[in-house]
Structure 1
Amino acid sequence: MTKKIKHYFPGANTPDGFFNYFKYILPVEEANRIFCIKGGPGTGKSSFMKKVGEYYLEKGYEVEYHHCSSDNDSLDGVVIKELKVSLLDGTAPHVTDPVVPGVVDEVLNFGDCWNEELLKDHKDQIVDTQNYISNGFTRVYKYISAARSIYDDWKELNYKAINLDKVHQLQEDLKAKILPMPISHTGENRHLFATGFTPNGIVTYIKDIIFDCKDVYVLEGAPGTGKNEILQYLSQEALKRGLDIVSLHSPLVPEEIEHLVIPELSTAIVTSNALTNLEFEGTHFYMSDYMNQEILDKSQYKIVAASQDFYYILNKALGILTDCKENHDKLESYFIPSMNFDKVNDLFDYVINKCNQL
């Protein structure tokens, strides 16, 4: 029976530039094999990884797709869980090199599959396009940073109205419900993103990640209403009880958790937030119930203005990302004709044979 793919972002476009959790895709300590793929744009890295993923998915293996935040239709990585195998795009901005070469890691060089003479004919266009894209991403990060500043103002306005005693009581109630077991050893914390700022807008895979969770708890509320504090608290309490967790971070505030998954308990604590505004099935907690409405009313016009300005600036960043993607497609058009995809197919056969021997 074919299983469902779980989708993640291992990296994100953030206010501080590109931020990645690539080492958590498949930690080298746990891996049987990690294939680091090197090659330029349009050389087939993403299609290659999808092909490997589909091969093992059809055979009933659990597969993860790790998407590129600068083009969420492309992959930066694939994991075949039962085999403890991953394939990673090892090129910038997330350069990945072997950590334990020959033992765990192996490089697949797609540069061996292209015709350098054909590429040299387009040297000037390639360099100019790369520079244009690089400058574009510099602007993207400036706009996301500006949006983050406005978001922080929005948060602070809401936080002034929060009833911390009530929020702390909710934390304790959730801990008692979800984590009744005693403290033991420390669990492992896997850090990734469910949501990304992409050329296709704000994209989230959280529903693909939690589809098999039996218990889902939903925290609904605006920025600064206590959601992150609750998630941080529950994540630490779960780790103290020897539970492995998946901390799914916010691309806007990478140090904060957007969603929390506890696989062993088949439980997720998710947020309906300013980035995604998703509707979830599950047990809902409305953070507005833990706020002082009178204080909120006094700042309402400021809150509305901050939220409007936030979305306006963030959409500017997303528009620049779209322009970068269009030029990246142009870059790929120079590489694709130079590729010998028969050689790439030979590498596919090599990888499958290598994995099947594990």
Structure 2
Amino acid sequence: MNSPEIRYTLVSSYTRDGFVSFIPDLVSSLKKVYVLKGAADELISLFIKRWGDFFYEKGCAVEFFLSALDPDRVDGAYVPALQVAMINGNLPKPIETGYPGWRTYFINLRDYLAEEIAEEGERKMEKIASLLQQEKEKAEQKVKEAGKIKEEMYSLSSSRLDMEEIKRLTERLIEEIGKERKKEKHYFASSFTKEGMISYLDEISRRCYRRYILKGPAGSGKSTVISNVAAFCKEQGLSVTYYHNGLDEEKLDMIIVENLQLAVIDGGEKGLTLRPGDVVLDMGKVLHFYRQEEAYRYIELGRDYEEKLIEAREHLEKWDAYLAEIGKIWAKALDFELLDRKREELNQLGLK
């Protein structure tokens, strides 16, 4: 008998278009969804982790949704065998009722206070909330500026793309894909957090027998090829999981053809560890040569892009520090014994 698996996935990110999350889509058809509100993210994360660990100890595989702000926290846990999930209801775009197919149960953790938060603490949290909003807006603005710089980098390269070569490369990949059928899922391949851009492409694709890794600079057509292959897979009804870029949701960093255990990956800046069976495709070959001034401009844009992300990361770090302050206020007031009893009750309900 195989041991159960704990899997960590990136389902949300602060992109150039703001906060984007695939959580609603991932849990929209489940039997039960518990949504936690009314407490600091750190405490909600702890509650969700313990809830998920309970099912893992019972022999169930568990998928944890990593926080887009802090990869040490989770925003959700999903138990596939039971079709049940628990998620953070305090996300920048809050989870609300009304999604088709949901049996959604909202749990307000404020109901589990041992004592009301003192007026001084409430005033402090109100002040911190204002600072949180400021840092959130500054971080989002820097990521948006970085996205515009990246778009100019794409434009520099895309004007030099050999589209006939792109077409031939896409057809080569499509020829190697079979015709088994199943449903599609969407995740992020990377996420921009207070620790910078994180990626789990190596870990996510570790079970794939064959990985096609596209190498080349930004704008060399890697996402175009992946999108073309993904479109073919969709037409064929193949079992495909889509992994989006953490800064630009519209761009794909990877697809995995589940039934064939095959991946097509944008390996341009991801630092993948090559292994036997990998096929590396040089997308640099589809680019016509840059003029000297274009090459200099591309290097300059790359530096500007990294600087914007560093500035955005600094704002996210401040944001997270403010969240920690709120967490301390909540921790002093919560009745953890009562909270543990509620979690045990939810554990048993999840098994039914």
Give the TM-score taking structure 1 as reference length: 0.91
Of 270, 279, 283, the residue aligned with 2:273 is: 279
In the other structure, the counterpart of 1:32 is: 31
In the other structure, the counterpart of 1:148 is: 147
Cα 1:89–1:15 change in 2 (3 A) is same
Give 4+ residue runs of structure 1 displaced > 4 Å after superposition: 100-103
Is residue 249 of structure 2 the alignment partner of residue 257 of structure 1? no
Q: What secondary structure is seen at the aligned counterpart in 1 of 2:72?
A: strand
Is residue 113 of structure 2 the alignment partner of residue 117 of structure 1? no
Cα 1:273–1:20 change in 2 (3 A) is same
Cα 1:297–1:43 change in 2 (3 A) is closer
Which one-letter code corresponds to 2:8 in the other structure?
H
Is residue 220 of structure 2 the alignment partner of residue 219 of structure 1? no
Query: 2:226, 2:197 → 1: CA distance?
Result: 22
Gaps of 5+ in 1: none
Query: 2:136, 2:341 → 1: CA distance?
Result: 35
Q: Which stretch of the first structure deviates more once superposed, 37-46 or 219-228?
A: 37-46
Q: What secondary structure is seen at the aligned counterpart in 1 of 2:73?
A: strand
Query: 1:232, 1:101 → 2: CA distance?
Result: 28
CA deviations on 1:321-345 (whole Å, 9 max, x unpaired) are 1111111111111111111111121
- How large is the RMSD of aligned CA atoms in angstroms? 2.2
Query: 1:110, 1:43 → 2: CA distance?
Result: 12
In the other structure, the counterpart of 1:160 is: 159
Q: What secondary structure is seen at the aligned counterpart in 2 of 1:222?
A: coil
Which one-letter code corresponds to 1:70 in the other structure?
L
Which one-letter code corresponds to 2:44 in the other structure?
K
Q: Which stretch of the first structure deviates more once superposed, 56-65 or 156-165?
A: 56-65
**What is the 5 A alignment of 1:164-175?**
164-175=163-174
In the other structure, the counterpart of 2:19 is: 18
Which one-letter code corresponds to 2:65 in the other structure?
H
Q: What secondary structure is seen at the aligned counterpart in 2 of 1:171?
A: helix
Q: Which stretch of the first structure deviates more once superposed, 279-288 or 324-333?
A: 279-288
Q: What secondary structure is seen at the aligned counterpart in 2 of 1:72?
A: coil
Cα 1:42–1:100 change in 2 (3 A) is closer
Is residue 292 of structure 2 the alignment partner of residue 291 of structure 1? no
Q: How far does residue 9 in structure 1 lie from its aligned partner after superposition? A: 2.2
Query: 1:120, 1:4 → 2: CA distance?
Result: 45
Q: How far does residue 51 in structure 1 lie from its aligned partner after superposition? A: 1.4
CA deviations on 1:134-184 (whole Å, 9 max, x unpaired) are 1111011111111111111111111222211111101000000124x39xx
Query: 1:273, 1:193 → 2: CA distance?
Result: 16
Query: 1:216, 1:115 → 2: CA distance?
Result: 53
In the other structure, the counterpart of 1:236 is: 231
Cα 1:195–1:102 change in 2 (3 A) is closer
Q: Is the 8 A contact 1:154 1:223 kept in 2?
A: yes
Which one-letter code corresponds to 2:9 in the other structure?
Y
CA deviations on 1:56-82 (whole Å, 9 max, x unpaired) are 223332211101111221111111111
Q: Is the 8 A contact 2:149 2:305 kept in 1?
A: yes
CA deviations on 1:263-299 (whole Å, 9 max, x unpaired) are 222222111234x34334321112112222x336552
Query: 2:42, 2:252 → 1: CA distance?
Result: 35
Query: 1:82, 1:344 → 2: CA distance?
Result: 25
**What is the 5 A alignment of 1:100-139?**
104-115=103-114, 117-139=116-138
Query: 1:102, 1:24 → 2: CA distance?
Result: 11
Q: What secondary structure is seen at the aligned counterpart in 2 of 1:278?
A: coil
Q: Is the 8 A contact 1:33 1:106 kept in 2?
A: yes
Query: 2:34, 2:315 → 1: CA distance?
Result: 32
